[in-house]
Amino acid sequence: MKQEFLLPDLGEGLTEAEIVQWLVAEGDTVTLNQTLAEVETAKAIVELPSPHAGLITTLHAAAGDVVLVGAPLVGFEIEGQEALEPEAPAAVAEVEEGSGPNLVGYGAAPSSGRPQRRARRARAGSVAATTAVVADVDVRVAAPHDDIAVVPAPPVRGERPRSTPPVRAYAKGLGVDLVLVAAELGDRVITRADVDAYRERLVQRGAGVATETIPAPASAAGARRPAGERATTRIPVRGVRKHTAEAMVRSAFTAPHVTTFHTVDVTATSELIASLRASAKPDAPRIGVLTVVAKAVCLALAAFPGLNARWDGDAGEIVQQHFVDLGIAAATDRGLIVPIIRDAERMPLGELAAAVAELTRTARGGKTPPADLAGGTFSLTNIGVFGIDAGTPILPPGQTGILALGAVRRLPWEYKGEIALRDIMTLSLSFDHRIVDGAEGAQFLKAVADVLQEPGRAMLLG
């Protein structure tokens, strides 16, 4: 019988998702929980498991399409099953064992063995409007003087190329087809460097992807520069990038931001970190300056709860939160995300270090669940890893404070009445001036700095 699978709510009330790539095709027979597609929400790339075992009759969307939650996604023909009305997203389904899910959109209970992915057949037109790369369609790109360069069509797709989700998203943003990259590289994992190298080869051949040229202005002698020197690339604003842009605009024009700075001698913190690492077991989580600052922030928030509050305009109230869900900004190939460490104030330093390490690993792999990207109460962003000393970070929506960590630099500094080389770092605190006034913001920042200047006792509490 026929059964429609509707796009489920993938978490936190998200209303839509973009099809990154299909891993199956019409006419394929799939097993229960076999991955059907990778979809990108405003927060994460998610693998979508099959809620049924059966024959795929219809794929209602193409790669690059944006599908609303609750819209038909896949049509199934299920042998021996009575026809069912389309399920609402996230509805519980009572069906025969081995042919249906426990929760629509999230697959069924785990089954034994890992289903093998079948070869995919290309689907004409399954490409975003800003690129022209599909398996059975010529690649057309802008060339000088508005001529069109036509590249012969590549072979039909088989198994998807081996790469990580961030690399696939990066390639998609550049308009590079990983099937073509894999055809040149052979059977190995494709890296970001491989994508860059392949795109450079296309440009050198005059076949850049999603590229247009702008006529160069004439010089005094009437000569023009080569068109390639003024090429532009159009990158679709989708997924994480779109969500981040909307959130930052909303925050910047809703909460009146104030940023204050404090430069602090963190030599004692550097010495503590070195001491803890020297005595740590080989498998112990690595403690770094971000972990120490996170602990210092949790201690300071207990004394200054205004920085851990939120503004409830509808109720006309300031809501102080007596727990710390700490956001850690992470730069990924898909854009900036801010995963959350829940109840960070309860964690001793080692546990906090492990949480930071796991958060970073998951974010870099593109596997952060949407639920872990919502509901933070205060955030940190470590701009020091890029060699930057200070900045004016924008508040994540709904939060009152965000602290930027600058680079730790060895500089001449006044110490005990003399000039000495010390480890120096600048802290940049942005806060919502509706909730926190300048004095409280300065006192909070000073409290964090005091812990970093003398961390020995405070860091090992909790």
Judged against a pLDDT cut of 50, whether residue 197 lies above it is answered with yes
Pairing outcome for strands 326-328 and 378-382: parallel
Question: Where are the chain's structural domains?
Answer: 1-120, 139-215+229-233, 239-459
Q: In terms of Cα–Cα distance, which of 297, 284, 289 is closest to 270?
A: 289
- Structure tokens given for 399: 């939060």
Buried/exposed code over 416-428 (b: 16+ C-beta within 10 A; e: otherwise): eeeeeebbbbbbb
Beta carbons within 8 Å of 237's beta carbon, 6+ residues apart: 245
More confident residue, 74 or 364: 74
Give the separation between CA 310 and CA 255, rounded to whole angstroms. 11
Determine which of 176-190, 224-238, 255-269 has the lowest per-residue pLDDT on average: 224-238
Give the separation between CA 350 and CA 445, rounded to whole angstroms. 23
List 60, 257, 262, 433, catalytic entry = 433
Residue in the block written with tokens 């500094």: 413
CA angle at residue 256 from 255 to 262, to 5 degrees? Answer: 115
Q: In terms of Cα–Cα distance, which of 287, 301, 21 is closest to 133?
A: 21
| Percentage above 90 pLDDT, the chain | 47
Hey, which CATH number is domain 239-459, 3.30.450.20, 3.30.559.10, 3.40.50.620, 3.30.2290.10?
A: 3.30.559.10
Give the separation between CA 310 and CA 316, rounded to whole angstroms. 11
Looking at residue 110, its pLDDT comes to 42
pLDDT digits (tens, 9 = 90+) for 321-335: 999 999 999 988 778
- Structure tokens given for 74: 């896949």
168 forms beta bridges with: none
Give the separation between CA 90 and CA 330, rounded to whole angstroms. 29
More confident residue, 185 or 134: 185
Give the separation between CA 388 and CA 391, rounded to whole angstroms. 8
Judged against a pLDDT cut of 60, whether residue 392 lies above it is answered with yes
Is 239-459 in the same CATH topology as 1-120?
no
Determine which of 87-91, 323-327, 338-342, 390-394 has the lowest per-residue pLDDT on average: 87-91
- Structure tokens given for 124: 């004409």
CA angle at residue 379 from 376 to 383, to 5 degrees? Answer: 150
Judged against a pLDDT cut of 70, whether residue 280 lies above it is answered with yes
403 forms beta bridges with: 380, 429
Per DSSP, 8 falls in state P
Burial (CB < 10 A; 0-12, 13-18, 19+), residue 360, is: middle
Fold for the domain defined by 1-120: OB fold (Dihydrolipoamide Acetyltransferase, E2P) (2.40.50)
Buried/exposed code over 191-226 (b: 16+ C-beta within 10 A; e: otherwise): eeebbeebbeebbeeebbbbbebeeeeeeeeeeeee
Q: Are 225 and 145 in contact (CB under 8 A)?
A: no
DSSP 301-349: HHH-GGGGEEEETTTTEEEE-SS--EEE-EEETTEEE--EETTGGG--H
- Structure tokens given for 256: 């009146």
433 is a catalytic site residue: yes
- When mean pLDDT is compared over 102-111, 298-307, 329-338, the highest value belongs to 298-307
Judged against a pLDDT cut of 60, whether residue 398 lies above it is answered with yes
Kindly tell me the number of DSSP H helices and DSSP E strands found in the chain. 9, 23
pLDDT digits (tens, 9 = 90+) for 232-255: 888 778 777 787 888 888 898 889
Using 50, 70 and 90 to split pLDDT, how confident is the model at 167? confident
Looking at residue 335, its pLDDT comes to 80
